[in-house]
Amino acid sequence: MRTLLVSHTSQLLAEGGHARAEGLSKLPGLDLCVLIPDRWRHYGKWLRSADARSYPFHVEIGDVAWPWAGPAQSYLHWYPRLAKLLADFRPDVVDIWEEPWSLVSAHACWEVGRHLPRTRIVSETEQNISKTLPFPFETFRSYTLRNIDMAIGRSRDAVSVLRSKGFDGPTTVIPNGVDKTRFRPIDRQQCRAKLQLSGFVVGYVGRFVDEKGIFDLLDALCLCAVSVNLALVGSGPLCEAIKKRSAELGLGARVRLLPPQSHDQLPEFMNAIDVLALPSRTTSRWKEQFGRVIIEAHACATPVIGSNSGAIPEVVGSGGLIFREGHPADIADTINKLAVNSLRRSELGAAGRRQVDETYSWDRIAERIYDAYSHALGE
């Protein structure tokens, strides 16, 4: 099965694209080529693709047009030489790991239909809110959904959005994955000592923005025992506001702000904390689409507490507890229950690790994606 995967994510090691593409490339019977951009803007920084020979899978580094378009961000990017790649590689399946409302998705559908009408097209999406997009993105999405043969949603809500937009073809839910050899249980006391963490530690990893509910977490900390501390890893526009709010609440040294951790450093943090918290808040334009940090914590056998925003309950599963979003008292009650019950924490941590083994390892994700390709081909 010759498969072309169109994926800017596969340019980035930390985003999981490397591991997923590498897992697919190892499957017998799958001849994989991954199209990545020669340059990409990632959280404000321009990244250049490495030499193709440095990737652990077959890569085509494409000259990308319009990789950044101001308010349209990266959703107008496309590959002017895609037609040549299709003619040279002649894939049986084209997997577009980009939102269906992006120009690259519509353009890929057009080129495949023009040059390889028998090639099957698979589209992937994380969008879990049904909303009308501004021109031209709603037009792109309609065109894409009319021309694909199968869709992969990152969550059940993502599939529901596809249905609400008129797609009536086959769908499947395939989540993100985690490298369980990198994220794994290691000596917790050594990790805590290295990061200088003490007491019962609630951890957070992510962007410092309003919709992540960090202020709810600070308010909840005021309702917890003084032995409960909070460690926040990340960056964003609310950094100074978080420091100010912590001071106003008199939390002092109970709150630690740590800079973003590399992909190699993050497993140590996940093992140093007692529980990971994801207190996301739903807005009119966004709700949590997956929460990759959940399965990274699970892989380290660290329990997770999360709000009921978007896909969080679906991903947390039996590996943690859920509270009502926007309710600090609920967060505090959940934290307090786990702070005094080490056995319960161990049970939840073990359940999370089992979920990773059964559902979220990249090997398992690769197998499920291969099944989706086979289904698209009618096999």
State whether residue 109 is helix, strand or coil: helix
Report strand pairing: 275-278 vs 31-37.
unpaired
Better-scored residue on pLDDT, 55 or 30: 30
Residue 230 has pLDDT above 90, yes or no: yes
* 94-115 mean pLDDT: 98
State whether residue 162 is helix, strand or coil: helix
> pTM score, two decimals?
0.92
State whether residue 102 is helix, strand or coil: coil
Better-scored residue on pLDDT, 284 or 4: 4
pLDDT at 233: 98
pLDDT at 263: 84
Q: Which two tokens stand for residue 161?
A: 């959005």
Which of 268, 297, 272 lies closest to 360, judged by CA?
Answer: 297
* Backbone conformation region of residue 249, classed left if phi is above 0, alpha if psi is from -120 to 50, else beta: alpha
* Superfamily name with CATH number, domain 2-177+361-376: Glycogen Phosphorylase B; (3.40.50.2000)
User: What is the spatial distance between Cα 124 and Cα 102, in angstroms, rounded to a whole number?
Assistant: 11
pLDDT at 163: 97
* 79-85 mean pLDDT: 98
Helix axes 17-25, 362-376, angle to 10 degrees: 60
Could you read off the pLDDT of 319-369 as tens digits, one per residue? 999 999 999 999 999 999 999 999 999 999 999 999 999 999 999 999 999
User: What is the spatial distance between Cα 39 and Cα 41, in angstroms, rounded to a whole number?
Assistant: 7
8 Å CB contact between 237 and 213? no
Percentage of the chain modeled with pLDDT above 70? 99
pLDDT at 379: 84
Residue 71 has pLDDT above 80, yes or no: yes
What is the DSSP track for 237-295? TTHHHHHHHHHHTT-GGGEEEEPPPPTTTHHHHHHHSSEEEE-----SS------HHHH
Residue 44 has pLDDT above 90, yes or no: no
Could you read off the pLDDT of 151-208 as tens digits, one per residue? 999 999 999 999 999 999 999 999 999 999 999 999 999 999 999 999 999 999 999 9
pLDDT at 14: 64
Architecture of domain 188-359: 3-Layer(aba) Sandwich (3.40)
State whether residue 60 is helix, strand or coil: strand
Residue 125 has pLDDT above 80, yes or no: yes
For the chain, the structural domain boundaries read 2-177+361-376, 188-359
Q: Pseudo-torsion of CA 152, 157, 160, 164, nearest 10°?
A: -110
Helix axes 342-355, 292-299, angle to 10 degrees: 110
pLDDT at 15: 66
* 36-61 mean pLDDT: 91
